[in-house]
Chain A
Amino acid sequence: AQSVTQPDIHITVSEGASLELRCNYSYGATPYLFWYVQSPGQGLQLLLKYFSGDTLVQGIKGFEAEFKRSQSSFNLRKPSVHWSDAAEYFCAVGLSTSGTYKYIFGTGTRLKVLA
């Protein structure tokens, strides 16, 4: 069955430190890949997406993600974290199955930033 795994439920980093959030997917082909951020009481905001082409994708707020086909991974990175980045981050895949298209979300990684 198709699935998205975010192995880290919680991550704590110091402000200014680098960040990497992990995402692995299980699917026979290359899906569309997305990272979203959700602040408390808010909906999800798209950070970046990958459909094809260059495997290093730049997004908003200084985030980037790298697609690695061999590892079925799409990890999110940021070189220097700001306190305002504290939020929950969701990896998602878009894929076709049984003639329909659907999105599958990971369970999320909650990021805490220490001052």
Chain B
Amino acid sequence: KAGVTQTPRYLIKTRGQQVTLSCSPISGHRSVSWYQQTPGQGLQFLFEYFSETQRNKGNFPGRFSGRQFSNSRSEMNVSTLELGDSALYLCASSLSPSGRINNEQFFGPGTRLTVL
């Protein structure tokens, strides 16, 4: 069974631009979560989608948004990029939504975003 895939793996943008990252979960998984990983802040939760609905959201500004499609693939969008948005963005998929016992998240390799 294929793992979680994220595209692109690397991305370079300039300040003010917007970016869209994509995540394809493991087949059969309906929950997708996004995280931002930076050396200073560590791993921070962005949001979670389950069956095309946002279930949870972290403390990020409205410039960060996401969506999930009927095939469970998810996209994350960041508008008006800032230098501080440079990070590794990780996607994780799971069978069940977070909070369910035995919920296990499987992580993708991440998208490395650099904002110049």
Contacts and interface: CB of A to CB of B under 8 A. Distances in A.
Interface of A: 32, 36, 41-46, 49, 51, 90, 92, 94, 96, 100-108
Contacts, number: 54
B63 to A, nearest CB: 20
Interface string B25-38: 00000000101000
Interface of B: 4, 33, 35, 42-45, 55-58, 90, 92, 97-99, 101-110
Nearest to A92: B43
A101 B104 CA distance: 14
Contact of A94 (B57, B92, B99, B108): B99
A107 B4 CA distance: 23
A72 B56 CA distance: 25
A43 B56 contact: no
Given A43-B90, A101-B56, A102-B58, A94 B98 contact: yes
